[in-house]
Structure 1
Amino acid sequence: MARKQSDYLAALLSDDDFRLEDDVAPPAGNASEATAEPASLPPIEPRPRAERSRGTTLLGRESALARVATGEVRQVTQLLLDPARVRIWPGNARSYAHLSEESCRELIDSIIAEGGQKVPAVVRRVEGDADHDYEVIAGTRRHWSISWLRGHSYPDMQFVAQVAQLDDEAAFRLADLENRARKDVSDLERARNYAHALRDHYGNHMTRMAERLKLSKGWLSKMLKVAAIPDAVLSAFASPADVQLKPAYPLAQLLDDRDKAVAIRKEASRLAREQANRRADGRPAIVAADVLKALLAAPDAERAKPEPMTIVSRHGRTMATVQSSNRQGVTLRLHAGSGANREEVLNAVRNLLIQLDGEGRGLQT
């Protein structure tokens, strides 16, 4: 862990709103083991061997108990839990639904090799949920991996966790700290998690949020900007995990311009169809760099198009033309002499408006 992260973790764990429960008794049916933070004893004057042998055990026990009583040493209980009784806290950036055997394979193999989970997760108690006793704040992949192992030849595997008392804002900071070091948490997942936290925990005060998370305000601003990229544009990428902060930020800026956003949405729709066709045919997806390049170039390409959108009748003659489509509305020209009857013209106009809506240029935008 980098020095900045280790300092932040130390500050986080020292906050009044975050503390591990002391002397937690596990629920019925669960095993537990208690550990105490190591503390050095004051120097003791040498004594005869026989006297030392009589007094060392008693002295050590009394000293340890005294340190626990004064709060100098904190006992932390590790619980062995059934993962089915532990739910996932929705405030975590990691998408539990997108975890898989492949993405957790290294962790699964490590747990098997070591005979169980060695690094405990952090959980907190829940109330009013008949199906769950705890929820995971940090340790989502560990929970998924233990759950997977219990269903695949390791039914006795237990989920190891430490119980913490903390509110939602402190839980968010703890989960965020863990996710910063995880390569499998995408920039988009973190960005959208930050956007939700800004609203839910910080009253939309970005400066306060940046201070609490020990982040640059400028960097946080960019993350929140990327979080605002709509799903219709993100569908152009093969996976949301392909959306990285630095290259996606210029795209997010372009989307602030409504006219440019129309062209980007149209290109995104085309790319999404192409991605779907490639998946259906078993072909490789369009790589993220090419998708981003096409989306960024879409506004200029749209302006360079010389031909307006037209509809041709069954007689091969122009029936309708889109003369303009902008924030003021859609302007259509209906051509005489196309050979189409009124019903055909009305159907053509209806289909044209549906197409424009799908591209973000219609009357619904």
Structure 2
Amino acid sequence: MAGFVRDILTTLAYEPHPVEQLSNDSAALSRLDQRLAGFVQGAGGRGRGFISIRPGDCSVWDGNPRDLPGLTGENCRSLIESIAQEDGNRIPVLVRLNPPGSELPYQLLVGSRRRFAVDWLNHNGRPEIRLSAVIVDLTDEEAFRLADIENREREDITELDRARSYQNAVDRFYGGVQSRMAEALSLSNSQLSRLLSLAQMPDDVVNAFATRDELRVRHSEVLTPLLRRPEQCERILAAARQIGDEQQRLAAANEKLIPAATVLTRLKQAGIGARKIAQEWPIMLGEAKIGKVRPGREGLAIDLLVADGADLDALLAQLRAAIVESRDLAAPDDADD
């Protein structure tokens, strides 16, 4: 089984994959699910490592980004119905043994929705159903990569949850080296940097959006440069708190919440304030100025010095951030009206 799982880690592509419907149209299979289902069929539904447990027998590994409180009987309805019809989960969850002395014997690595669905059924008239699981022996880093494969294929994992799991993982599993993590997850350094910037959004900014799902990487690209400056950061956070209070009042009154585009515009305008349009904006790499962006005749002009041996991925990430920031600062204040 360990060899099968490690084969998944090395051969399963990360690119988005069209979702295929189950024959009963009650749920959708991810690519990882398809591989697990194929393994079960090849083993005849049995074999070494297969166990049947209660959902309460396993704790959930803290390296998984899934927002467990967000799982409900309603948003898992099709999965619950499918498991009820089949008297159990056809696609097993993946667990590993907890260390000796732990309160529970197993630790859930993959399959949070299936575990929730079986637990829901156990408490709603089907106490006999057990959770089908496969025991695997994986390191924390391998478990993180496997959970990341599964969660990239799910629509109910927010960009913010994924980004914050990456922020935790870069120190926990990769020694704080972003390039190591990017290589392990088949991401470019710039893609990972953008996600980590989202993870660092202040809670006040997060709460200004109607839901966590509405805060995206593209929003953090606009706000992150402004939040780096103390005076602009203070204005943005004050505006974010005001918007958050408005969202709560609207929600209490059962009225339409402020859309993400409007929230972003208000936060950006609060950060920019009554600033004087600069004639050029520096491009920084660490503490060094490597170039500048300035207004051109038909857009923005860029002057850039690329030193021998420069980290091109890091340089391109900073160049992209500088262009986004300069474009926003150079735009008229009413550009988003």
Q: Specify if TM > 0.5.
A: yes
1:192-211 Cα offsets, whole Å, 9 max, x none, are 00000001111110001111
Q: The residue matched to 1:165 in structure 2 has which SS?
A: coil
Shift of 1:102: 2.0
**Contact preservation (8 Å) 1:36, 1:76:** no
**Separation in 1 of the partners of 2:158 and 2:210?**
14
**Separation in 2 of the partners of 1:303 and 1:281?**
36
**Contact preservation (8 Å) 2:51, 2:133:** yes
**Separation in 2 of the partners of 1:84 and 1:246?**
39
Matched, 1:179 2:139: no
Matched, 1:132 2:104: yes
**Separation in 2 of the partners of 1:135 and 1:10?**
19
Instruction: Give the direction of change, closer, same or farther, for the CA distance of 1:106–1:297 in structure 2 (3 Å limit).
Output: farther
Matched, 1:11 2:10: yes
1:301-332 Cα offsets, whole Å, 9 max, x none, are 4659xxxxxxxxxxxxxxxxxxxxxxxxxxxx
Give the RMSD, CA atoms, in angstroms.
2.5
Provide the residue aligned with 2:226 in structure 1: 254
**Separation in 2 of the partners of 1:294 and 1:183?**
28
Shift of 1:267: 0.7
Provide the residue aligned with 2:117 in structure 1: 145
* Structure 1 segments of 4+ aligned residues over 6 angstroms from their partners: none
1:206-241 Cα offsets, whole Å, 9 max, x none, are 001111111111101100011010112111112212
Shift of 1:242: 1.5
* Unpaired segments ≥5 residues, structure 2: 13-38, 277-337
Instruction: Give the direction of change, closer, same or farther, for the CA distance of 1:266–1:35 in structure 2 (3 Å limit).
Output: closer
Q: Which amino acid aligns with 1:141?
A: R
**Contact preservation (8 Å) 2:226, 2:233:** yes
Provide the residue aligned with 1:86 in structure 2: 58
**Separation in 2 of the partners of 1:100 and 1:296?**
35
Tell me which of 181, 206, 209 is aligned to 2:181: 209
**Separation in 1 of the partners of 2:107 and 2:153?**
21
Aligned residue-pair number:
244
Provide the residue aligned with 1:266 in structure 2: 238
Q: Which amino acid aligns with 2:216?
A: Q
Residues 272-311 of structure 1 aligned to structure 2 (within 5 Å): 272-301=244-273
Q: Which amino acid aligns with 1:9?
A: I
Provide the residue aligned with 1:193 in structure 2: 165
Q: Which amino acid aligns with 1:78?
A: F
Q: The residue matched to 1:87 in structure 2 has which SS?
A: strand
Q: Tell me the TM-score normalized by structure 2.
A: 0.67
Q: Which amino acid aligns with 1:124?
A: R
**Separation in 1 of the partners of 2:140 and 2:181?**
14
**Contact preservation (8 Å) 2:197, 2:220:** no
Tell me which of 71, 80, 91 is aligned to 1:119: 91
**Separation in 1 of the partners of 2:127 and 2:170?**
40
* Unpaired segments ≥5 residues, structure 1: 1-5, 14-33, 39-73, 305-365
Q: Which amino acid aligns with 1:11?
A: T
Q: Which amino acid aligns with 1:288?
A: A
**Aligned-pair identity (%):** 34
